[in-house]
Structure 1
Amino acid sequence: MNKTFIVIKKIKILFVVNPISGNGKQKKIGLVIQRYLNKDKFSFALKFTKHHKHAEEITHKHRNDFDIIIAVGGDGSVNQIGTSLINSPTIFGVIPAGSGNGLARHLNIPLNFKKAIDVINSYKHPMKIDVAKINEQYFLSTAGTGFDAHVAWKFSTAASRGFLTYAKIVLHELFKYKIKKYKLEINDQMVEIHGFLVTIANSNQYGNNAFVSPKSELDDGFLRLIIIKPFPFYYIPLLIFQLFNKSLLKSKFVDHYIIKKMIMISPSQQVQLDGESIIMRRELKIEIIPNCLNIIGNI
């Protein structure tokens, strides 16, 4: 009697872990993966980053060796790995382990490691999402100049990480920050504005459920330009409430544009890309790259 054997090929996953993101609990992620990942469906390998941009280097080296690459870290690690998989058949995933976790929150990925792995276990088909480009750099969630970039720079030099550190910086810098003037080319029209904050959003939030662009979708082929104009200081509590209540766009101090591309001339070279502070030239060319990243979501 002939016997027929069916060999099921396992899906290969590489977990790229940033051990210093957030509170560092992801250092033990290997034990959680070993316990909860469906090993009938997946095989896996684990790599820890050792220096800045190492996640990007690991992804470029191994993106053809694995079916899925998972970022275990914060928004900076998510940016490095995700943008290294643009137009690649390799699927991107996130186990959030950072301070803000903006993209993961938009994708409804649980912050609990076991529950995040459950999302991977139940994965069947990837989402196709857009990525944004600013000059020669890429971002997945948000980019901006103004107060958000200033806070990102301060946060990058802080002695500790986490939401409390971020909140302290915001409160400390809020009353000292000086409004800046920007030149924007939107839909072939040049406008000049004074802005407290100028953010380009692909996802709906910065992180920590701070919804700077609550109407943003990751797969609609558009970016949102959010401008917070000068406002009296007594409006600060209301603006903060609206930011976390998904009602920021209702404020009379907020302008909102739906765009595919734009040019911005900024008075500052400080820019935040997915929460990471970088220095760029003052002329910023921004555009959407539609449907270029395969990702595991939970929405």
Structure 2
Amino acid sequence: MQDSRKLKLLFAINPVSGGQSKETWEESIKTYCADKPHELNLLILNGEDDEERLTKEIDAYKPDRVVAVGGDGTVKMVAEQLLSKNIPLGILPAGSANGMARDLDLPADPEQALDVIVNGRVQPVDLICVNDKDLCLHLSDIGLNAQLVKYYHENNWRGKLGYARGVLRVLLNKRPMTVEISTTKGVLRREAFMVALANARMYGTGAIINPDGDVSDGYFEVVIIRQFSWFEFLKMFWRYRPFDPKKIEVLQAKALIIETRKRAYFQIDGEYRGRIKRLEARIMPGGLKVMLPQEKKGE
């Protein structure tokens, strides 16, 4: 059903995400809305005081939708400004990986993505609160992948070749961690190469680490990589399931505490956060409203 009412749309545009100019996206936005009644406000981010500028713009403009035009980092920054404002988040996937958009089955085509923002449905999605101060929209982890994120950003690697270099470096230096995971169901002690907190199903690379994940079910999954297995990793890309629980263990939780014997690499939504020995996390059910495609009949 088409939404004929006039909408006030605020677009937060990251001009450098994905290493590509966003002029095409700006033109697509203007072209799409040219014959429609909607009111546009384009805010170009500068990487310096974006949170403050966006908050002021939201308060002054009072939009019906706030749209993140960029990659996962842009989506997270915009989402954080909407938590207490009851305004739906729209996503135009203009980054290099766009993991959140892919996980939500949002179209990559600008016109189709804009149609979702204007005519889609509002869906509350869960968030994970980490250490009482950070928000995870997508995926956080300690261990191998967090180490890869660190190397990737430190060396400013780009593209598939850069990613492959990072993977090779991580694998050559891989070491298991001793972890203790406490949930309401008890305490688990494991030797693991990686532990992920998965609100969603897949990384931006397309690797499905949490096949049965649902961003709106009131839970997050704890994915424990207990043994390094090429076959299990191939399953993430070839959509095989389930994982062998002796190698990759998946648990559901609403809250947990993870403690490691030694400091472990840690990342949230693709941002490296240093090395830690303790992590606390809890679910925030329906903490964010997101514009998603209309459900097809019969689903």
The TM-score normalised by the length of structure 2 is: 0.88
Q: Does 1:155 align with 2:152?
A: yes
Structure 2 residue 97 is matched with structure 1 residue 104: no
How has the CA–CA distance of structure 1 residues 41 and 171 changed in structure 2, closer, same or farther, with 3 Å as cutoff? farther
**Runs of 5+ unmatched residues, structure 1:** 1-7
Residue 94, structure 1, aligned to residue 91, structure 2 = yes
Report what 1:31 is aligned to. Answer: 27
- Counterpart Cα distance in 2 of 1:260 and 1:31: 42
Deviation at residue 249 of structure 1 after TM alignment: 4.1
Instruction: Give, in whole Å, the separation in 1 of the partners of 2:96 and 2:160.
Output: 6
**Identical-pair percentage:** 27
Aligned residues: 286
Alignment deviations for residues 12-52 of structure 1 (CA, whole Å, 9 cap, x no partner): 11111112211314243211111123652421111122125
Structure 2 residue aligned with 1:5: none
**Cα gap change, 1:27/1:193 in structure 2, threshold over 3 Å: closer, same or farther?**
farther
1:127 Cα deviation after fit: 0.5
Contact 1:16 1:55 survives alignment (8 Å): no
Structure 1 distance, partners of 2:117, 2:41, is 15
Structure 2 segments unaligned to the other structure (5+ residues): none
Post-superposition shift, 1:76?
1.2
Output the amino acid matched with 1:106: D
Alignment partner, residue 4 of structure 1? none
What's 1:22 paired with?
A: 18
Once residues 215 and 41 of structure 1 are traced to their aligned partners in structure 2, the CA distance between those partners, rounded to angstroms, is 40
Shift of the 292–87 alpha-carbon distance from structure 1 to 2, 3 Å rule, reads: farther
Per-residue Cα deviation, 1:186-220 (whole angstroms, up to 9, x for no partner) = 22522221111100001111123211101111110
1:1-299 aligned within 5 A: 10-37=6-33, 39-51=35-47, 54-64=49-59, 65-123=62-120, 125-135=121-131, 136-187=133-184, 189-231=186-228, 235-236=229-230, 238-247=231-240, 249-251=242-244, 252-266=246-260, 267-268=262-263, 270-279=265-274, 281-298=276-293
Cα separation, 2, equivalents of 1:95 and 1:144: 25
Query: Is the Cα contact below 8 Å between 1:88 and 1:293 reproduced in 2?
Result: no
Local SS of the residue matching 2:263: coil
Q: CA deviation at 1:275?
A: 1.1
Q: Is the 8 A contact 1:132 1:286 kept in 2?
A: yes
Task: Report the CA distance between 1:78 and its aligned residue.
Answer: 1.1
Deviation of the 1:182 alpha carbon: 1.3
